Structure 1
Amino acid sequence: MRIPVAVAVALAATPVFAEDLVFTLINDSSHTIVEMNVSPIDEELWGENILTVDAVEPGMSGDITIADGLDVCDYDLRFVSDEGIEATKSQNLCEINTFTIND
């Protein structure tokens, strides 16, 4: 089942050379994802929850757009399940079309 999980993390000033990062998030885990945070790999703090839906149930997928105005590809991703389980991963988001969450 495909749900809209479109997100936009917008900053006031967007450089002309920056492009939105768009990929499909696939929840292939047995956990319901209730929060997704991203930050450039060199940042110490997580950004806000970028999911625009309450939850991404197992087996669901949806498009994610990161429109932060930055000209970077490498991000840290953080996922939080409804049980409070956290998982993190670093990913070059410019090189992917899909990102799959597994157990």
Structure 2
Amino acid sequence: MLVRPQFVLASLALLVLPANAQTEDLVFTLTNGTSSVLTEFYVSPVGVRDWEEDILDVDMLAPGESIEITIADGRSVCDYDMRFEFDAESDLDTTEDTQNLCELGEYTVRD
């Protein structure tokens, strides 16, 4: 059976593309180090005016709990603004921070 070089190159490209897309995902552990329930977590690249959608994969993150967060937005930026919103009965106000998420393995939001 004769295999054409174009077919081999196209097949190799399909194998390489998903691996490259995964390398752009930012993954870190988010820990709720506050005494309040975290209900929403937003991120947006620094310089973007609007918050993107809530990326907390659970309905809430209780005090002391952790969750793995994946930002799979396909961007090649590292600096993100973060916004944390807490339960309405909480004494905590909405908290914001900016971090280089490429270098961050874990982040703990605190009171």
TM over 0.5: yes
Matches within 5 A, 1:60-71: 60-71=65-76
2:33 corresponds to which residue? 28
Q: Name structure 1 gaps, 5 residues minimum.
A: 1-15
Q: TM-score, normalised by structure 2?
A: 0.75
Rounded to whole Å, the distance in 1 between the matches of 2:33 and 2:57 is 19
Is the partner of 1:54 in helix, strand or coil? coil
Deviation digits for residues 9-63 of structure 1 (CA, Å, limit 9, x no counterpart): xxxxxxx576100000011111110000000001000001111211000010010
Quote the RMSD (CA, aligned, Å): 1.7
Please say which of residues 75-84 and 16-25 is displaced more in the overlay.
16-25
Q: Secondary structure at the match of 2:102?
A: helix
Per the alignment, in what secondary structure is the counterpart of residue 94 of structure 1? coil
Bigger-Rg structure (1/2)? 2
- Give the Cα separation in 1 of the matches to 2:43 and 2:104: 15
Q: How many residues align?
A: 89
CA offset digits 1:43-88 (Å, max 9, x no partner): 0000011112110000100100000000000000000001273000
Tell me which of 40, 47, 50 is aligned to 1:45.
50
**Which of 68, 75, 86 lines up with 2:94 in the alignment?**
86
Structure with greater helix share of residues: 2
**Greater RCO structure (CA 8 Å; 6+ sep):** 1
Structure 2, unmatched stretches of 5+, are 1-19
User: Normalising by the residue count of structure 1, what TM-score does the alignment of the two structures yield?
Assistant: 0.81
Aligned-pair identity in percent equals: 49
